[in-house]
């Protein structure tokens, strides 16, 4: 079964092994003083993102700042299957999280299971951005690895091709279930930000799909996440189907000791939620 608009809130649980990274490093010139006009612009941007998530939108982008010295571009994207209530809660938590952890950075992105937000001092709208890029993989292997790898590639490619049917501004989200055996089903999800053209969305998804064998070949689950798109597969249902009722979701901002929180020398980005049975790593 294939679906292009669904509803869900199931938390992914994964484990980060990136503790070797300096958690509080920023590139020279990539931050600003807390009392600057830039800080005011950031506060205004995050407030706008959070407030517009209450308008039953799953994607929104905006710009703040009166001149080039303090201009910021920001957006949020909620996973295409989640309810408006879950989207609102996720964006509200994400804006608080990024304000806490990336408050001095001019470029940031934060990913939750059900949403992501990002901002930059350069325009990020209608542009494919594949960095920073992160892979998450289930550490459990599967016995029929060749079959799984073929099905993942074929199904993801089919979903990516469907993006060619949707113009700029239209939700670009798809899921598909494929039967592997009498006891196993493969669940797949792809999504792009709505501001991408159909061609750019397909190109972004293909780049992410091409990374799956590198990070996750033969594994029971995996995802590749870019700022502009993401792909994910599992052997369990992790998104909301049409007839299912989503469970209530609660969000709390995580502390800087959360092992899934990362700040790199070129950016500020974070994975949030509880982290356990997944491994994460960064692509060059």
Higher pLDDT, 139 or 243: 139
Domain hosting residue 206, numbered range: 2-8+133-234
Model's pTM, two decimal places? Answer: 0.79
Beta bridge partners of 118: 75, 109
Can you tell me the distance from the alpha carbon of 159 to that of 176, in angstroms, rounded to the nearest whole number?
8
- Long-range CB pairs of 60-68 (<8 Å, 24+ gap) are 61/125, 61/195, 65/37, 65/38, 65/41
Q: What is the CA radius of gyration of the chain?
A: 18
Beta bridge partners of 234: 187, 221
Lay out the sheet containing 115-120: strands in order across: 59-64, 72-78, 115-120, 108-111, 267-271, 261-264
- 264 in a structural domain: yes
pLDDT in tens, 190-203: 999 999 999 999 99
CATH number, position 264: 3.30.430.20
pLDDT in tens, 3-51: 443 232 222 222 222 222 222 223 344 566 555 788 888 999 999 999 9
Give the total number of structural domains in the chain. Answer: 2
CB atoms closer than 10 angstroms to residue 270: 23
- At residue 111, does pLDDT exceed 80? yes
Look at the block and give the residue holding tokens 């189907």: 241
- 246 in a structural domain: no
**Whole-number percent of the chain with pLDDT over 70:** 73
Q: Give the per-residue pLDDT at 13.
A: 26
**Same domain flag for 112 and 159:** no
Higher pLDDT, 262 or 64: 64
Q: Give the per-residue pLDDT at 163.
A: 82
- 253 in a structural domain: no
**Same domain flag for 191 and 266:** no
pLDDT in tens, 227-269: 999 999 999 999 988 655 444 544 443 332 232 333 232 345 5
- At residue 2, does pLDDT exceed 50? no
Q: Give the per-residue pLDDT at 269.
A: 54
If you average pLDDT over residues 144-162, what whole number do you get?
94
- At residue 79, does pLDDT exceed 90? yes
**Same domain flag for 182 and 220:** yes
């Amino acid at each position: 079964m294939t679906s292009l608009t669904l509803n869900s809130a199931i938390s992914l649980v994964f484990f980060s092994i990136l503790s070797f990274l300096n958690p509080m490093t920023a590139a020279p010139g990539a931050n600003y003083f807390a009392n600057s006009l830039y800080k005011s612009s950031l506060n205004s941007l995050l407030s706008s993102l959070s407030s517009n998530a209450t308008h039953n939108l799953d994607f929104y982008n905006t710009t703040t700042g009166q001149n080039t010295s303090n201009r910021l571009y920001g957006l949020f994207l909620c996973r295409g299957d989640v309810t408006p209530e879950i989207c609102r809660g996720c964006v509200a938590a994400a804006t608080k999280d990024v304000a806490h952890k990336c408050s001095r950075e001019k470029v940031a992105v934060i990913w939750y299971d059900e949403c992501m937000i990002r901002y930059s001092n350069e325009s990020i709208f209608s542009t494919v951005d594949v960095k920073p890029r992160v892979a998450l993989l289930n550490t459990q292997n599967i016995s029929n690895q060749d079959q799984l790898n073929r099905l993942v590639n074929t199904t993801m490619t089919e979903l990516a091709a469907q993006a060619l049917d949707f113009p700029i501004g239209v939700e670009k989200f798809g899921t598909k279930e494929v039967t592997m055996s009498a006891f196993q089903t493969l669940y797949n999800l792809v999504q792009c930000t709505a501001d991408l053209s159909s061609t750019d969305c397909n190109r972004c998804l293909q780049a992410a799909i091409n990374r799956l064998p590198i990070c996750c070949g033969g594994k029971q689950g995996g995802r590749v996440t870019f700022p502009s798109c993401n792909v994910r597969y599992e052997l369990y249902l992790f998104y909301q189907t049409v007839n299912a009722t989503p469970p209530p979701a609660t969000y709390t901002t995580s502390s800087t000791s959360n092992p899934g929180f990362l700040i790199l020398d070129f950016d500020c980005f974070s994975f949030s939620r509880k982290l356990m049975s997944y491994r994460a790593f960064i692509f060059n």
